Amino acid sequence: MSLQDIWQRIEARYESFSPQLQHAARFVREHPEDVALTSMRGLATRAGVSPAAMSRLTQALGFESWDALQARHRDWLTLGRQGVFSGPADKLLTGIKAPGAEDVFLDALRAAECNNVDAAFAPMSRDALKRAVNLLGNARSISVFGIRSCFPVAFSIHYSLSLFSRHARLATGTGGVLLDELDHLGEKDALIVISVAPYSREALDAARRGKDVGARIVALTDSPLSPIALLGDVALVAGNASPAYIASPIGLLAMAQALTTLLFTCAGDDALVALRRREAALAAASAYLPTETAK
């Protein structure tokens, strides 16, 4: 059983756990290195739960003993994860040398991306999307924040919204001004924060800042137990599994596209008028090549 399998079990069974078991499960999910290197009693102390709760969690996840659960985490730490990116990259480079490996990789990549998109539109995801649209549609302004691999998703959301709304803002933290960029947030505003494992400290800071001032938080992430999901008023969870050396953004982008399009349809005729105004401005500036020459 891989670490991803263990995480999926935690997510699938989380709602059925007692409060203390949920607390233990969140700690195990968010601190895999500690699980690999710490005794059960020591980990329970760090997590703020009893050793008995950690033992019950071990059994609930299908392991006969703490040693067995810890062994899976040690395998992940010592063999499969020399680094967040370099570990998968090393495995990829080793496997790609075999005859026909390129096609095997491409088939696996296609299958993973299809699964990521399917997960983005699963029934539970659709319910969360509808709640997010309702929350964002009633907000005075919508700010968006995501960095590193999540920046393209944040930029896509902001650009799509800016085509029909003057109340969309993109926070980047450039020059260390993240808190300044979020200074306008209040109870009538909303903040979309995007982050996937390994979770960005800046994203968590942004979510906490929004929460502290009463803004509504929409978390776009890879797990319902991620730090920003636990802070969010709504958590949009997208799959990002990939045989590549970096997590896939495709599920996140699909969910972002759905979110902004639903927000556009909810805005109605006013959004269409604003979109046509933007089109006219771009046309006046000759932003695009004429259709007959765009070949």
Domain 116-284, architecture per CATH: 3-Layer(aba) Sandwich (3.40)
Express each pLDDT in 23-53 by its tens digit: 999 999 888 888 988 899 999 999 999 999 9
**Type of residue at 240:** N
Average pLDDT along the chain: 88
Residue whose tokens read 């991620």:
226
Domain boundaries, the chain: 3-80, 116-284
Structure tokens at 112: 């993973």
Domains 3-80 and 116-284 share a fold: no
Give pLDDT, residue 286.
92
Max Cα-Cα span within the chain: 72
Residue 212 has a CB neighbour count (10 Å cut-off) of 9
Q: How far is 11 from 224, CA to CA, in rounded Å?
A: 7
CB-CB neighbours of 56 under 10 Å:
17
Average pLDDT over residues 190-217: 95
CA torsion angle 224 227 228 233 (round to 10): 60
Neighbours of 105 (CB within 10 A): 15
Instruction: Determine the 3-state secondary structure of 143 from DSSP.
Output: strand
> Span 3-80: which CATH code?
1.10.10.10
Which residue, chain included where needed, has tokens 């502290």?
A: 212
The predicted structure's pLDDT at residue 49: 93
Q: 40 with 277: CB under 8 angstroms?
A: no
pLDDT reported for residue 92: 56
Could you tell me the pTM of the whole model? Answer: 0.73
Structure confidence by residue, pLDDT tens digits, 64-111: 999 999 988 888 766 654 455 455 555 555 555 566 777 778 888 888
Token pair for 227: 């730090």
Which bin fits 176, alpha (ψ -120 to 50), beta or left (φ > 0)? Answer: left
In this prediction, residues 57-63 reach a mean pLDDT of: 93
- Residue 100: what pLDDT? 73
- What pLDDT is stored for residue 251 in this prediction? 94
* pLDDT tens per residue across span 132-166: 999 999 999 999 999 999 999 999 999 999 999 99
Decide which of 218 and 37 is more confident. Answer: 218
Q: Would you tell me how many other CB atoms lie within 10 Å of the CB of residue 211?
A: 16
DSSP states along 159-208: HHHHTT-SSEEEE--GGG-HHHHTTT--TT-EEEEE--SSPPHHHHHHHH
Q: Tell me, what's the pLDDT at 168?
A: 96
pLDDT at 126 over 80: yes
More confident residue, 57 or 73: 57
Dist. CA 82–CA 64, nearest whole Å: 28
Of 25-34, 193-202, 212-221, 271-280, the poorest mean pLDDT is in: 25-34
- Which tokens is 4 given? 């991803």
